[in-house]
Amino acid sequence: MTTTHRMYGALATWWPLISPPEEYTGEAAYAAALLGSAEIPVHEVLELGSGGGHNAVHLTSRFTMTLVDLSDDMLAMSRRLNPGCEHLQGDMRDLRLGRTFDAVFVHDAVDYMLDETDLAKAVRTAFVHCRPGGVAVFVPDHTRETFQPATEHGGSDDDTGCGARYLAWTWDPDPADTWVCTEYAFLLRGADGAVHTSHETHRTGLFSRDTWLHLLGDAGFDAQAAVEVSTDDRLPRDVFIAHRPSTSGTPDALGGS
């Protein structure tokens, strides 16, 4: 199965212009520090929902990255940027590679977990792929506590004349449930100067810090929340740093439920 989102399917070739890898430098450096906080030395890192590999490209100088994404089209983009990394298609809710890593990184792709059942599955996947003494780092865009309705825009050009601009309008139709909505509008200019427009609605999950910590604890992690340290021009995110105790036995990456 692959993605149902056009942004990560038919439009995936535009991803480097929509969200340029250079914009990930700061958050990747921060993530690297958190990934390095494990009790064990961290060499091998699994990233779940690695997308175009825009974080990974900044992490490969320090770690051996294995990159997993739902979308074959996003994996194809990441292979171009990160040719030295292993790339695998999979769903973070049920992936079982049968091997473990020193650390697991789950950036904004975890936003696509829309209810607690799916979030618990993603957390479980991180746990079974994490070695005892290792760490899993989760960086959702928002928690219930940090969420604010917002409109943002961005995009960039390349040297062939192609360019992309987007507007993202995020709001919460029902604060009583566990998801919010983002309306994306894209203006995509080809090298011939022709501009195409595209609109897509994404639902993304929104959970309280307590829910995160409770699900991480249930999976077997020693977890804590922290406020991201960032110089980016946006509100800092809540991040979740989940250590797998070194005494928690042999990880069951073959399919523990």
Ligand X SMILES: C[S@@+](CC[C@H](N)C(=O)[O-])C[C@H]1O[C@@H](n2cnc3c(N)ncnc32)[C@H](O)[C@@H]1O
- For ligand X, which residue has the nearest CB? 51
Q: How far is the CB of 221 from ligand X (least distance, A)?
A: 19
Q: How far is the CB of 67 from ligand X (least distance, A)?
A: 9
Query: Dihedral sign, CA of 56, 224, 90, 147?
Result: negative
Do 34 and 62 contact (CB within 8 A), yes or no?
no
158 vs 210, beta carbon nearer ligand X: 158
For residues 15, 21, 22, 27, the Cα torsion angle rounded to the nearest 10 degrees is 120
69 binds ligand X (CB under 6 A): yes
Which region, judged by CB under 6 A, interacts with ligand X, from 50-58, 172-180, 225-233, 241-249?
A: 50-58
Is 180 a binding residue for ligand X by CB under 6 A? The answer is: no
Please count the helices (runs of H) and the strands (runs of E) in the chain: 6, 11
Structure tokens at 223: 């977890």
Q: Which of 46, 53, 63, 163 binds ligand X (CB under 6 A)?
A: 53
Burial class (CB in 10 A: 0-12, 13-18, 19+), 27: buried
Which residue matches tokens 């800092």?
A: 236
In the bound state with ligand X, the residue whose beta carbon lies nearer, of 14 and 112, is 112
**Rounded least distance, CB 96 to ligand X, Å:** 13
> Going residue by residue from 104 to 123, which x/- string records binding to ligand X, judged by CB under 6 A?
---xxx--x-----------
Which stretch in 46-54, 167-175, 176-184, 239-247 sits in contact with ligand X by CB under 6 A?
Answer: 46-54
Q: Which of 35, 51, 85, 102 binds ligand X (CB under 6 A)?
A: 51
| Residues touching ligand X, count (CB under 6 A) | 21
CB 35, CB 135: distance < 8 Å = yes
CB-count exposure of residue 209 (10 Å: 0-12, 13-18, 19+): middle
Based on the shown chain and the rule CB under 6 A, indicate whether residue 55 belongs to the binding site for ligand X. yes
Nearest Cα to Cα of residue 104 among 46, 31, 57, 51: 46
Q: Shortest approach of ligand X to residue 28 CB, angstroms?
A: 8
Phi-psi region of 67 (alpha: psi -120 to 50; beta: other; left: phi over 0): beta
Q: What residues make contact with ligand X under the rule CB under 6 A?
A: 3, 8, 48-55, 69-71, 74, 91-93, 107-109, 112
